[in-house]
Amino acid sequence: MASPLRNESGHVAPEQGEEDTAPRRETPALLSTLSYASQIYSIRGFAAPGRWLRDWKEYFYPPVGAPNFVKTYECRPDLPVRVFFPASYDQTSPKTLPTLFTIHGGGFCIGHIRDDDEWNRAFADGQDVLVIALNYSKAPGAPFPTAIHDLEALLLALLSDESLPIDRTPHLGRGRTAILGFSAGGNLALTASQLPTIRDHALAPAAAVSVYGYLDLSVPAQEKLANRPFKPSLDLPRGDKVDALLWLMPTFDWAYVPYGHDLRDPLLSPYFASRENLPPYVGIVAAELDFLAHEGWRTACGLAREGLGYQGWAAERGRYRHRVPDRLSKEKPWRVCGREEVSSRVGELELEDGRFAFEESWPGGGVKWLLVPDVLHGFDNQSIRALMGGEETVRDAEAKTKAFMDELGVWLKGTVWKV
């Protein structure tokens, strides 16, 4: 396991012979176990009829955002992938395309590969890249690390599939590919890419991107509330005094994490992954009104400092460049990811503010950080966005979704893939 040096005080892996004080997954009481199981299967039960109706309707009336086709591989025949060609692409052409693999969210337990069709279609058409949505088994039936190895098998199958126009031009010793995940999928994008079979592959993703990812499972969800701003002047649910995800996190953790497992395992909590085990480029996108944003910020700053080496310690206006935020800091600007004030720039990102955006590159790698202001977890998902409030809130989320997709596309094509 890599030495998890990430914040100012620093966590250090124990030396050989020292006592192991790593936080581990505790075994819950019987009543808690029954409660967690009931919640998971109730959520699945409520979602099933709606998903069935949606699938039935889309079978007869394919939506505009549908994939070009769905494909299965022998390695995981029950986990189909969805393939999105850019609208401008001639499928009879021998031209290859930079490729983005995406992973849906759902707390490792719920969610469906169909959930991000609109995002995948918009990114494929808007950025002129091939997008392939990956699939994985869900907990509690398939706990850690099953999903990671599902993704590993599908990635290897896809990278060897010559029928797909994946750009295999050598670049950084890899192909022009990247892997991106949403929420739990953001965790899986950064964990699956650490596996040696993926990391050392000739066509391995040149970048891994987490979008409002769950990156540090070692900190209890309740403790993370102190790290996000609350803005009661915004309309509900953005201005709510609680975080909508809070009540679900213990259930997701119970379903996914084996009892007794080290919560700082980099394959479980990629916040603790060392720079050399990740793809050359890492992108972290977070939602300001999300209690997971601070761990994304810490991850981006820690990886940037690690990649820059001693350059990253250059004094800048009296502070160290990319100081790694401390979630327990007495200084509020470092303890809270974001700010209390509502952004005056409706529908826009804040690229000039280093707390909301930065990009660092060095020979053969780099880090990109984006904090999307005044939005909730899942703001870029069409279905979730519809639950976020009135028309103004939805329009703001739609505009910021397009803005961050464009910003991400520029970074991937201009910096990561250099196409």
DSSP states along 337-350: SS-SSPPSSTT---
Q: Assess if residue 20 is contained within a domain.
A: no
Q: Assess if residue 375 is contained within a domain.
A: yes
Q: Assess if residue 8 is contained within a domain.
A: no
Residue among 330, 101, 294, 288 at smallest CA distance from 216: 294
Whether the CB-CB separation of 335 and 328 falls below 8 Å is answered with: yes
CATH code assigned at 46: 3.40.50.1820
Whether the CB-CB separation of 183 and 244 falls below 8 Å is answered with: no
What confidence score (pLDDT) does residue 20 get? 59
Retrieve residue 326's tokens: 């401390």
Query: pTM of the entire structure?
Result: 0.92
Specify the DSSP element, H or E, that contains 196. helix 196-199
Residue among 72, 187, 191, 92 at smallest CA distance from 132: 72
Whether the CB-CB separation of 151 and 192 falls below 8 Å is answered with: yes
Count of domains observed in the chain = 1
> Maximum distance among all alpha carbons in the chain?
63
Amino acid type, 106: G
Q: Assess if residue 59 is contained within a domain.
A: yes
Per-residue pLDDT tens, the chain, 419 aa: give them: 333 444 332 333 444 444 557 789 888 888 989 999 998 989 888 888 888 888 888 878 888 889 999 999 999 999 999 999 999 999 888 999 999 999 999 999 999 999 999 999 999 999 999 999 999 999 999 999 999 999 999 999 999 999 999 998 877 778 899 999 999 999 999 999 999 999 999 999 999 999 999 999 999 999 999 999 999 999 888 999 888 888 899 999 999 999 999 999 999 999 999 999 999 999 999 999 999 999 999 999 999 988 887 554 454 444 456 689 999 999 999 999 999 999 988 899 999 998 999 999 999 899 999 999 999 999 999 888 877 778 888 999 999 999 999 999 999 999 999 87
Q: Assess if residue 318 is contained within a domain.
A: yes
The domain in which residue 351 lies consists of 30-416
Q: Assess if residue 19 is contained within a domain.
A: no
Unique residue bearing structure tokens 């350059």: 311
Angle of helix 117-127 relative to helix 391-411, nearest 10 degrees, comes to 50
Specify the DSSP element, H or E, that contains 179. strand 177-182
Q: DSSP letter at 415?
A: I
Retrieve residue 41's tokens: 């299967």
Name, in order, each residue with C-beta under 8 angstroms of 147's C-beta and a sequence gap of 6 or more.
108, 136, 137, 138, 139, 188
Q: Assess if residue 1 is contained within a domain.
A: no
Q: Assess if residue 17 is contained within a domain.
A: no
Cis ω for the linkage preceding 145 (within 30 of 0): yes
